[in-house]
Amino acid sequence: MSHSYLAKLCSISAFMSLALFSSAVLAAETDAEEEKMDYDQCVLQRIEIADDNTTIGDIKKYCESLSNLAIYRPSKELLFTNEDNKTVASEKGDNAEDAKEGSALLKKRLRMEYRVRDNRFAIIPHKPNYLLPVTFNNSPNQDSLETSGDERQVDNIEAKFQVSFKTPFWEKPFGDNSSLFFAYTGQSYWQAYNKDVSSPFRETNHEPEIFAAWATDWKLGGWQVPYFSLGVSHQSNGRSGLGSRSWNRIYTEFAFEQDRWVLAFKPWWRIPEERKDDPLDPDGDDNPDIDDYMGYFELYSAYQWDQHNFGILLRNNLRSDNKGAFQFDWTFPLDDEGKLRGYVQYFNGYGESLIDYDRRVNRLGVGFVLTDWL
């Protein structure tokens, strides 16, 4: 087959593809009010046909209004309307645009998550994914490594990392704005620099969850409530015998945001288990007093300043002995694109890991975060 024939064939194919694409665009414009379309497809089509005076904001606003995803629907107020912009402008003056962007931190994340839900090769982050190559604990649990003849000392310095993801497996089970998710979080403590005991993993906690989440347009005072969830969680360290730790919880979580502040309130109820007659019995409660240390709720507050995210986690048992935990997070960009971010984490209190749930931990770690809360 000659090169000229191939060139003609390619030209004809390109012309037909362009004609079909143009027809599809015109048809989409004609039926826009009657039929919803995919957000990403809409953006690509509008970019092709838009004139020089059309802004990216105009294209996004147009496609968000047509998307069949609840997170884009103006009726749920998950995106700012003109009335919202006027209100913000009157209250914030010249900083209206900053305030508008800052009050949609969680909504931005939700929109991104919706865009990849149908991509089976994409993994949606759940909790933060991070690696802290160096952490220092001034009072490590010497009993957390099982003895094997000689005494085994736990180093103050170890590595800590967390892997967390989720995936929706049922869309709209409880209405248009709901989804059912499966999630998994693994958190490991690695004695990477303890060569005397062959650098073991001192503790690994596994937490699978199933939960339902709803996107909402609720407001409480000046706070918006972008979503809430209800789920069941199992957490275990995968050990047997005296080192076994596990518990099951039913929880709900409400997220709030205002300006550049985000709050997440997560109360839970522990599913009771029968007490063990023998500590070595595989059936029964491994840690009956875990509520005394882990408490009954978790409150996380985050603030975004420029490209820096600051977070504070609080837990408490609401008892006179007042056991709980405090964690401070700081993440910051390490490159111009913001893909690589540094992470400083400080933890003080009980329940950092299951093996240490009843021991006070005072740990400072530095490293990298791959995906953050915001």
Catalytic positions, written as ranges? 234, 236
Of 211, 256, 220, residue with least CA distance to 107: 256
**Which is it for strands 129-137 and 297-305: parallel, antiparallel or unpaired?**
unpaired
First to last CA, the chain: 56
Tell me the residue length of the chain. 374
Rounded Cα distance between 230 and 268, Å, is: 10
Beta bridge partners of 268: 251
**Which is it for strands 361-371 and 178-190: parallel, antiparallel or unpaired?**
unpaired
**Tokens in use for 81?**
């309307």
Rounded Cα distance between 208 and 236, Å, is: 9
Q: Are 240 and 279 contacting, i.e. CB atoms less than 8 angstroms apart?
A: no
**Tokens in use for 251?**
């929880």
- Where do the DSSP E strands lie in the chain? 124-125, 129-137, 157-171, 178-190, 201-220, 223-236, 246-258, 261-270, 297-305, 308-316, 324-333, 341-349, 361-371
Q: Which residue carries 């009072």 as its tokens?
A: 139
Q: Are 368 and 130 contacting, i.e. CB atoms less than 8 angstroms apart?
A: yes
Beta bridge partners of 89: none
Rounded Cα distance between 167 and 187, Å, is: 19
| Element of type H or E holding 88 | helix 82-92
How many alpha carbons lie under 13 Å from residue 228 in its C-beta half-sphere? 16
Amino acid at 204: T
**Tokens in use for 12?**
């004809």
Rounded Cα distance between 29 and 353, Å, is: 55
Task: Mention every residue, 6+ apart, whose C-beta is less than 8 A from residue 339.
Answer: none
